[in-house]
Amino acid sequence: MINKQFIPDVLIIGGGAAALCAAIAARRAGATVLLCEQASRSLRGGNTRHSRNLRIAHETRTPLSIGTYSATEFLADLNRASDGNNDVDLAQLLVHESADITAWLANAGVHFQRVADGRLPPSRKTAFLLGGGTAMINALYATAERLGVIIRYDSEISALQLDGKRVTQVQIKFGVTEHTLSPRVVIAACGGAQANRQWLRTVWGDAAKGFINRGTPFATGAVLQMLLNQGVQAVGDPSRAYLVAVDARSPANDGGIVTRIRCMPAGIVVDATGQRFHDEGGDTASTRYAIWGQRLVHCPNQIAYLILDARGMRHAPPSLHSPVMAADIPQLAATLKIPFAALVATLAAYHAAIRAPIDDQRAVNWCTAALEPPKSHHALPLVEPPFGAYPMRPGITFTYHGVGVDRQMRVKRHHGEVMNNLFAAGMLMASNIFNSGYVSGLALTISCVSGRLAGTMACQNLFQSSAP
């Protein structure tokens, strides 16, 4: 519980990387800090628990990555992924601040995987967390507690009152009791609305019923909606989300990265009627996860099946669930409840269309001819028993919708004027930097960089306003 007489300098709403970086930065700057995490202690940390790397600009080699990755290249990758639809000033700020974020995090107790250890594929553009996102969260909480940050779990923000350019009151619900606080500064770092299925249905219609939430169930968008209802500037597009193909047997929430399906080029993908609907060999980069996530939205009942033979399954990476197995195609069709005749006809048409290059037997160069849709690469026949299938649904990671901020992470109102004591960090403001596409490690970089900035700038604002 919170002492009714206690008025924190800084109230932080959220419990993931952005919130923790803000809390640590603010506490180091001398502020009293209260962090309210809606989840219980065992579920703390938001989507950061499922993270594994963050993207960093580095002009020289480091122990954490191979080669170099200039700020210019980082910015170009970011602009390309978002089609240039971002705040250029904030994008440049993010890239600049990313250069020393791993050192700052290491100073806060976070450990990173060194390239020389050889435990993960080497990366030039990202640094990998040692122990993953959960280890990072545990380290940041330990540091925050050691610095004197007051942490309250199971704390839901039930009301947030704005008056002009200030937050005047915040109501926090603890179980059946509520407290009203008037903090001097508020930092909202509580994510978007990807876990709010009712909200998703208003945007996506019945298709939202087939979505699986890959992350925390506490990202309901409640605080986002409170802010937007009171004149805060909206950024991004509420009708868009970052979707990837996940195993349809995944839990409704919190499955994380292990739910992802990755081996579409090794087989064919059919919908519930047994029909192929896209080129499985056309996308072999990591972007295929998101491309297939979007495609699954348009399938009947938002479900499709990746069909593999024994050869394909040998090349498939490890996954959360084993494939659905069958000795032959008729048995597989029956198990999946796909019309047998349709699946057999689809496979027959696919096999008949396969063309193997005469002078190059590499699988990547096998393709189909006169088949719609084509399979442009890896078009190998599916003939080696047993056969397997992965059922797939769209997995939602985050929404491209949030609040506008300036370079100090101060929240903007509709007309662009900034709030005096309200800041935002993490995915709540990420749509300023990208509102479409994605590049690996970007979300965690945004969370850490914006959290650190918000905590630092909030205290700067706080102490300047209280100076005689």
Specify whether the CB–CB gap between 57 and 34 falls below 8 A. Answer: no
Interacting residues of 73 by C-beta distance below 8 A, sequence separation 6+: none
pLDDT tens-digit map of 394-413: 999 999 999 999 999 999 99
Task: State the DSSP H helix or E strand holding residue 200, giving kind and residue range, or none if neither.
Answer: helix 197-204
205-210: long-range contacts at Cβ-Cβ below 8 A with a sequence spacing of 24 or more? 207/297, 207/298, 207/302, 209/302, 210/296, 210/297, 210/301, 210/302, 210/303, 210/393, 210/394
| 374 pLDDT above the threshold of 90 | yes
Residue 5 falls within a domain, yes or no?
no
Average pLDDT score over residue span 122-136: 95
Residue 2 falls within a domain, yes or no?
no
- Here the CATH number for the domain that contains residue 370 is 3.90.700.10
Residue 328 falls within a domain, yes or no?
yes
Q: How confident is the model at residue 259 (pLDDT cuts 50, 70, 90)?
A: very high
Token pair in block for residue 361? 């037997």
Residues 333 and 434 in one domain: no
Question: In 3D, which of 26, 2, 18, 14 has the Cα closest to residue 149?
Answer: 26
Residue 3 falls within a domain, yes or no?
no
Residues 200 and 316 in one domain: no
- Residue 320 per-residue DSSP state: S
Residues 179 and 37 in one domain: yes
Measured distance between the N- and C-terminal CA atoms of the chain, rounded to whole angstroms: 33
| 272 pLDDT above the threshold of 90 | yes
Residue 46 falls within a domain, yes or no?
yes
Q: What whole-number distance in Å separates Cα of residue 351 and Cα of residue 379?
A: 9
Task: State the DSSP H helix or E strand holding residue 398, giving kind and residue range, or none if neither.
Answer: strand 387-403
| 463 pLDDT above the threshold of 90 | no
Dihedrals phi, psi of 156, to nearest 5 degrees: -105, 130
Residues 109 and 37 in one domain: yes
Residue 347 falls within a domain, yes or no?
yes
Domain boundary among 375, 394, 413: 394
Answer whether the bond into residue 386 is a cis peptide, omega within 30°.
yes
Q: Which of 27-31, 122-126, 273-277, 357-361 shows the lowest mean pLDDT across its residues?
A: 357-361
Interacting residues of 301 by C-beta distance below 8 A, sequence separation 6+: 210, 272
Residues 160 and 190 in one domain: yes
Q: Can you give the length of the chain in residues?
A: 468
Answer whether the bond into residue 394 is a cis peptide, omega within 30°.
no
Q: What whole-number distance in Å separates Cα of residue 113 and Cα of residue 385?
A: 39
Dump the DSSP string for 225-280: HHHHHTTBPEEEEEEEEEEEEEETTS-SS--GGGGB---GGGSEEEETTS-B-S-T
pLDDT at 146: 98
| 285 pLDDT above the threshold of 80 | no
Specify whether the CB–CB gap between 176 and 3 falls below 8 A. Answer: no
Residues 380 and 461 in one domain: no
Domain boundary among 364, 394, 424: 394
pLDDT at 4: 59
Q: How confident is the model at residue 356 (pLDDT cuts 50, 70, 90)?
A: confident
Question: In 3D, which of 185, 191, 67, 212 has the Cα closest to residue 126?
Answer: 67
pLDDT at 1: 53
Average pLDDT score over residue span 85-103: 96
Q: How confident is the model at residue 319 (pLDDT cuts 50, 70, 90)?
A: confident
Average pLDDT score over residue span 450-462: 95
Cross-strand pairs, 384: none
Distance of CA 80 to the CA centre of its chain: 18
Distance of CA 298 to the CA centre of its chain: 21
Provide the domain limits for residue 66: 10-233+404-465
Secondary structure class of 106 (helix, strand, coil) = helix
pLDDT tens-digit map of 417-448: 999 999 999 999 999 999 888 999 999 999 99
Q: What whole-number distance in Å separates Cα of residue 173 and Cα of residue 151?
A: 14
Radius of gyration of the chain (CA): 24
Q: Which of 96-105, 112-121, 243-252 shows the lowest mean pLDDT across its residues?
A: 112-121
pLDDT tens-digit map of 160-178: 999 989 999 999 998 889 9
Percent of the chain with pLDDT over 70: 96
Residue 399 falls within a domain, yes or no?
no
pLDDT at 288: 65
Cross-strand pairs, 73: none
Dump the DSSP string for 361-394: --GGG-EESS-SS---S------SSSEEEEEEEE
> Cα separations (Å) of 303 from 241, 295, 338, 419, 457?
18, 10, 11, 44, 46
pLDDT at 360: 67
| 132 pLDDT above the threshold of 70 | yes
Dihedrals phi, psi of 41, to nearest 5 degrees: -60, -35
Residues 299 and 389 in one domain: yes
pLDDT at 189: 98
Q: Which residue has the tokens 């170009």?
A: 76
Percent of the chain with pLDDT over 90: 84
Dump the DSSP string for 138-196: HHHHHHHHHHT-EEESSEEEEEEEEETTEEEEEEEEETTEEEEE--SEEEE----STT-
- Here the CATH number for the domain that contains residue 130 is 3.50.50.60
Q: How confident is the model at residue 466 (pLDDT cuts 50, 70, 90)?
A: low
pLDDT at 81: 87
HSE-up of residue 306 (Cα within 13 Å, Cβ side): 28
